[in-house]
Copies of this chain bind each other. A is one copy, B any other.
Amino acid sequence: MRQAIIRLVQVAALLSFVGAATVLAQQSSGAAGGLVTFQEILEGLKEDGSKWLTFGGNFANHRFSPLTQITPDNVNRLQPQWTFQTATVGNFETTTLLRDNVLYVTGPLNVAWALDARSGRQIWRYRRELPLTGLTACCGLVNRGFGILGDKLFMTTLDAHLLALDAKTGAVVWDATLEDYRTGYAATIAPIIAKDKVIVGVAGGEYGIRGFLEAYDANTGKRAWRFYTIPGPGEPGHNTWSGDSWKTGGAGIWVTGAYDPELNLLYYGTGNPGPDYHSGSREGDNLYSDSIVAVDADSGKLRWHYQFTPHDVHDYDSTQVPILADLTINGQARKTVMFANRNGFFYTLDRTNGRLLVAKTYVNTTWAKEIDAQGRPILLPGQTPDEKGEFTCPDALGATNFWQPSFDPRTQVFYVTAREACATFFGYETPFVPGQRFTGGAQQLVNRADNRPSGAIRALDPKTVELKWEFKLPTPSRAGILTTASNLLFSGDNEGNIFALDSRNGKQLWRYQMGANLHGTSPITYMVDGRQHILVPSGTTLTAWALGDVPRGTGQN
């Protein structure tokens, strides 16, 4: 018993911040109550700050709030208002939802809460009875947040179910099985709502699953469709997998995508092909691994795909958060989807057809030289993992990853938490055993003078991938980003601080030491009783800060 506790030496807390500024008159009208409509979610974040109803704030995943009460001038007066300790252990990657002054929070181990946004007081708590053994979530028993519609909340589970909870009580309304968790499936993704459907995907790329995206009827929990990320026999793309490798090819979907209601298309990034590193058993491009897929929300049919990393051998899951925006590129108005990829490249695509518009590296990248006119990477030599090891940048954790970027629609700047890190990749044959890890190798981080992993918040022009500014971090961070219309950017570092930057120039304006990282998610912001709040989940494995191995001079002011 003790060992289990010691191994999971992690805590998790929610901190709510308000400015010390005078309370302004703009009273929130959020307490109106009633059922959550699809129209409301569609409208995204509004000036009254009364709602946060979907993962990215809006379906385009901007994580950009119109609120302006907290400004670059007063943000240094932000102070914690209350703390909620979750009393669970594990990485705390949830995007909190808000409606009617109630916060809906999921935590590690499929515990979830409804909290009074005024006080942090618990309204209800839900805990999933998980199986004692056999859970396969490769990289933390996490959950990334609720979806909401009507009177229901939707949560995926580590044993690969999708639950609907009564938003008033936390009681389970329906429980749908995605797949049998004993065969390597898990689910950590935050659902989104497309009209009357709940959209979810599965994790398990390290366990030889066959990935898919699914839609469930929000009312009944009945499955509406399933889109396999690996085509079956007879389907286009099936021949990009040699032999039977398609059956265990991975390509999970474990990070929430975007939705364009006009085109009625869902945009989701897909995970790595399995086994991750030794790829002799899966010759071919391995479609649709490491891709973005555009899927019709009604039918689940694939409209188009774009593969970022054909025949990946570096575990470059393309499970980052896609962001939608309409941009003018080379004088032409484009409906785009932007994607800062784990593989080191930033991509802007035409989201109507998947055509590549822009692709350039935004971190040090050695596996490919560039992306050619056909949208394929031009590979560089000596980058295939083998038994002696090959040194490649980025490392397997990537140039960025599952934490969320943000996009300012006014300035059309894309903000991403980037990593500069390289690793030695080893590849060797491993047998497939159902329910067991199936990676075909490993990476080894080499912490030497010329390879000290670092991080940065980078502001990029998605039309050119030009770096507008960067805020350097001494060690790589896994924090997502929130921006606001008052030119603020909120994120966190690997040393346990939440901080605010001026989003125009990257200047640091404020920070607070939370004692554990903002990890895999971003703060949200909203109005309660006329005051703008910043809410941040803080909880992770021990931080570099806590471990005492942070370079001197980078600590708390």
Contacts of A83 in B (CB 8 A): 13, 15, 80, 83, 512-515, 538
Shortest beta-carbon distance from A402 to chain B in Å: 22
Contact (Cβ within 8 A) A132 B1: yes
Of A66-74, A122-130, A499-507, the segment with at least 4 beta carbons within 8 Å of chain B is A122-130
Shortest beta-carbon distance from A21 to chain B in Å: 13
Contacts of A515 in B (CB 8 A): 13-14, 82-85, 120
Give A421 to B512 CA distance when docked, in angstroms: 41
Contacts of A125 in B (CB 8 A): 546-548
Contact (Cβ within 8 A) A546 B87: yes
A52-86 interface bits toward B, Cβ cutoff 8 Å, 1 = contact, 0 = none = 00000000000000000000000000011111111
Taking the complex as formed, is A299 at the interface, i.e. its CB lies under 8 A from any CB of chain B? no
Contacts of A3 in B (CB 8 A): 132
Contact (Cβ within 8 A) B4 A4: yes
Give A515 to B122 CA distance when docked, in angstroms: 10
Taking the complex as formed, is A154 at the interface, i.e. its CB lies under 8 A from any CB of chain B? no
Taking the complex as formed, is A12 at the interface, i.e. its CB lies under 8 A from any CB of chain B? yes
A4-27 interface bits toward B, Cβ cutoff 8 Å, 1 = contact, 0 = none = 111011111111000010000000
Nearest to A132 among chain B residues (CB) is: B2
Nearest to A85 among chain B residues (CB) is: B515
Contact (Cβ within 8 A) B555 A87: no
With A548-B122, A556-B118 as given contacts, are A85 and B14 in contact (CB-CB < 8 Å)? Answer: no
Contact (Cβ within 8 A) A538 B85: yes
Give A123 to B5 CA distance when docked, in angstroms: 22
Shortest beta-carbon distance from A102 to chain B in Å: 12
Shortest beta-carbon distance from A134 to chain B in Å: 11
Give A139 to B2 CA distance when docked, in angstroms: 16
Contact (Cβ within 8 A) B9 A512: no
Contacts of A124 in B (CB 8 A): 548
Shortest beta-carbon distance from A133 to chain B in Å: 8
Contacts of A109 in B (CB 8 A): 2, 5-6
A109-121 interface bits toward B, Cβ cutoff 8 Å, 1 = contact, 0 = none = 1000000101111
> When the two chains form the complex, which single residue of B86, B88, B121 contacts A548, counting CB atoms closer than 8 Å?
B121
Taking the complex as formed, is A509 at the interface, i.e. its CB lies under 8 A from any CB of chain B? no
Shortest beta-carbon distance from A269 to chain B in Å: 30
Segment 440-491 of A: residues with Cβ below 8 Å from B: none
Q: How many residues of A contact B (CB 8 A)?
A: 57
Contact (Cβ within 8 A) B6 A4: no
Taking the complex as formed, is A539 at the interface, i.e. its CB lies under 8 A from any CB of chain B? yes
Taking the complex as formed, is A423 at the interface, i.e. its CB lies under 8 A from any CB of chain B? no
Nearest to A16 among chain B residues (CB) is: B513
With A4-B4, A122-B546 as given contacts, are A13 and B11 in contact (CB-CB < 8 Å)? Answer: yes
A127-157 interface bits toward B, Cβ cutoff 8 Å, 1 = contact, 0 = none = 1001011000000000000000000000000
Contacts of A516 in B (CB 8 A): 85, 87
Taking the complex as formed, is A176 at the interface, i.e. its CB lies under 8 A from any CB of chain B? no
Contact (Cβ within 8 A) A127 B556: no
Taking the complex as formed, is A163 at the interface, i.e. its CB lies under 8 A from any CB of chain B? no
Contact (Cβ within 8 A) B2 A512: no
Q: Could you say which of A15, A80, A118, A547 has the most chain B C-beta atoms within 10 Å of its C-beta? A: A80
Give A373 to B385 CA distance when docked, in angstroms: 87
Contacts of A79 in B (CB 8 A): 79-80
Taking the complex as formed, is A550 at the interface, i.e. its CB lies under 8 A from any CB of chain B? yes
Nearest to A121 among chain B residues (CB) is: B555
Contact (Cβ within 8 A) A120 B85: no
A85-98 interface bits toward B, Cβ cutoff 8 Å, 1 = contact, 0 = none = 11111000000000
Shortest beta-carbon distance from A377 to chain B in Å: 40
Contact (Cβ within 8 A) A539 B121: no
Contact (Cβ within 8 A) B513 A120: yes
Give A130 to B5 CA distance when docked, in angstroms: 12
**23 A-B residue pairings within 8 Å (CB atoms):** A1-B4, A1-B133, A4-B4, A5-B88, A6-B127, A9-B87, A11-B89, A13-B515, A79-B80, A80-B80, A80-B512, A83-B512, A83-B515, A84-B513, A84-B546, A85-B516, A87-B516, A87-B542, A120-B515, A121-B555, A121-B556, A123-B548, A125-B548
Known: A79-B80, A80-B512. 4 other contacts (CB 8 A): A1-B133, A83-B512, A83-B513, A125-B548
Q: A residues bordering B, Cβ < 8 Å?
A: 1-6, 8-15, 20, 79-89, 109, 116, 118-125, 127, 130, 132-133, 496, 512-516, 538-539, 541-542, 545-548, 550, 555-556
Give me the 8 closest cross-chain CB pairs, A-B, nearest first.
A119-B556, A85-B515, A82-B513, A83-B515, A1-B4, A11-B11, A85-B516, A9-B87
